[in-house]
Amino acid sequence: MAKAKPKRHPERSKGTPDWNDIERRVRLLSRAGDDGVRIQASPGEILAEAQYLAEFYRKAGLPLPDTLAALV
């Protein structure tokens, strides 16, 4: 499988988060991945990415997706 690397700092584009990118990155963290491709990272890196992405949902007052809720 191809190694998927998410872009860092989606919030820096135009001052608002790119929710399509954030949702894609959340899917990459799940066991099923995004179209079968899961991010290739250590457990610590996956946890750090999940915590980073969870902050976007918290700041927007949105519930965490199941994938993030299970990780953080």
Across residues 38-59, what is the average pLDDT? Answer: 93
Taking the whole predicted model, whether its pTM rises above 0.85 is answered as no
% of the chain with per-residue pLDDT over 70: 79
pLDDT category at 12 given cuts 50, 70, 90 is very low
Element housing 20 (H / E): helix 19-29
Q: What Cα–Cα distance (Å) separates residue 51 from each residue in 10, 28, 45? A: 14, 14, 10
The residue with greater pLDDT, 22 or 16, is: 22
